[in-house]
């Protein structure tokens, strides 16, 4: 077992276990914490694949931003000691069947597919390349999506302020 294999399996194990815990834990704050672990592990996978910038973004934005946001909202909307009620058994069974069936279908398909895999380029992606890619307008340039995303973020910001604002009435 190579190093990478070991690392991958480790991260995957963390991801799978904590994902499961996230969706099953009855304490909501713990669930958020478990989600945080999943996100950490994911960023670990990115590191493993040498996408350092992406991994950093994942850590800061996801783990740092979104999870914190979620935790805040949890604190705003529920008591710490509250336990989530267990969903009805039928519901769980149906959901499990759907999920397992979907998973089996996808996994089967994946395993049956032959991918043309390139040799691994261990070089890290230089931050400059990313910057250029973000701002260039030619082929493999992402200036337009970049702008759209910035507008979207602005819109989301304004929207959430308006939504969360207390109404006068």
Partner 1 sequence: MFEGVPIHWFLVLATTMFFIGIYGFLVRKNLITMLMSIELILNSVCINFVAFNKILFPEHLEGMFFTLFIIAVAAAEASVAIAIIINIYRRLVNIDVEKMNEMKF
Partner 2 sequence: MIDFSYTIWILLIPLLVFVVTGLTGNRFKPIVTGIIGTTGLGINFCLALFTAYKYFFVLEKADGAFQKVIGISYTWLHLTEKLHIDIGVLLDPISVMMLIVITTVSFMVHIYSIGYMKGEKGFARFFSILSLFSFSMLGLVIATNIFQMYIFWELVGVSSFLLIGFYYEKDSAVAASKKAFIVTRFADLGFLIGILVLSYTTGTFDFITLTGPNSPAFTSGQGIMFLGMSTMTWSMLFIFMGGAGKSAMFPLHIWLPDAMEGPTPVSALIHAATMVVAGVYLVARMFPIFHHEQSALEIVAWVGGFTSLFAAVIACTQYDIKRVLAYSTMSQIGYMMLALGVSGYGGEEGLGYMASMFHLFTHAFFKALLFLGAGAIIHAVHSNYMNEMGGLRKYLPITHATFLIACLAISGIPPFAGFFSKDEILVAAFHHNKALFAMEYLVAGMTAFYMFRLYFNVFWGKDQHYHHTPHEAPVTMTLPLIVLAIGSTFAGFIPFTKLVTSDSMPFEAHTEWGIAIPSILIALAGIGIATMLYMKSSDTSKKIATALGGFYAAAYNKFYIDQVYLFITKKILFNYVSRPVAWFDRHIVDGTMNQFAYVTNVVSDRIKGFQSGQLQQYALAFISGVIALALLFIYLWTN
Find the binder of partner 1 among 10, 16, 127, 135 (CB under 8 A): 16
- The CA distance from 38 to 83, in Å, is 22
Q: By CB under 8 A, tell whether 69 contacts partner 1.
A: yes
Q: By CB under 8 A, tell whether 127 contacts partner 1.
A: no
Q: CB under 5 to 8 A by kind: which of partner 2, partner 1, none does 45 bind?
A: partner 1
Q: Which two tokens stand for residue 51?
A: 């996408």
In sequence order, the 6+-apart residues with CB closer than 8 A to the CB of 83 are 26, 27
Least separation in angstroms between CB 149 and partner 1: 5
Place of tokens 């759907």: 98
Find the binder of partner 1 among 1, 79, 137, 168 (CB under 8 A): 1
Q: Which among 82, 86, 88, 92 is positioned nearest to 29, based on CA atoms?
A: 82
Q: By CB under 8 A, tell whether 28 contacts partner 1.
A: yes
- Our CB check for partner 2 shows the closer of 110 and 162 to be 110
């Amino acid at each position: 077992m190579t190093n990478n294999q070991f690392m991958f399996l480790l991260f995957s194990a963390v991801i799978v276990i904590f994902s499961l815990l996230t969706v099953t834990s009855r304490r909501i704050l713990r669930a958020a914490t478990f989600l945080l672990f999943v996100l950490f592990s994911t960023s670990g996978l990115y590191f493993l694949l040498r996408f350092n910038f992406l991994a950093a973004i994942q850590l800061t934005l996801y783990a740092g931003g979104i999870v914190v946001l979620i935790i805040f909202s949890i604190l705003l909307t529920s008591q710490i000691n509250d336990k989530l009620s267990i969903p009805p058994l039928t519901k769980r069974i149906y959901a499990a069947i759907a999920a397992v069936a979907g998973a089996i279908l996808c996994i089967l398909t994946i395993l049956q597919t032959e991918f043309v895999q390139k040799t691994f380029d261990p070089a890290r992606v230089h931050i400059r390349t990313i910057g250029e890619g973000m701002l260039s307008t030619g082929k493999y340039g992402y200036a337009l999506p970049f702008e759209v995303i910035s507008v979207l973020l602005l819109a989301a910001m304004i929207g959430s302020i308006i939504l969360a604002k207390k109404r006068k009435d």
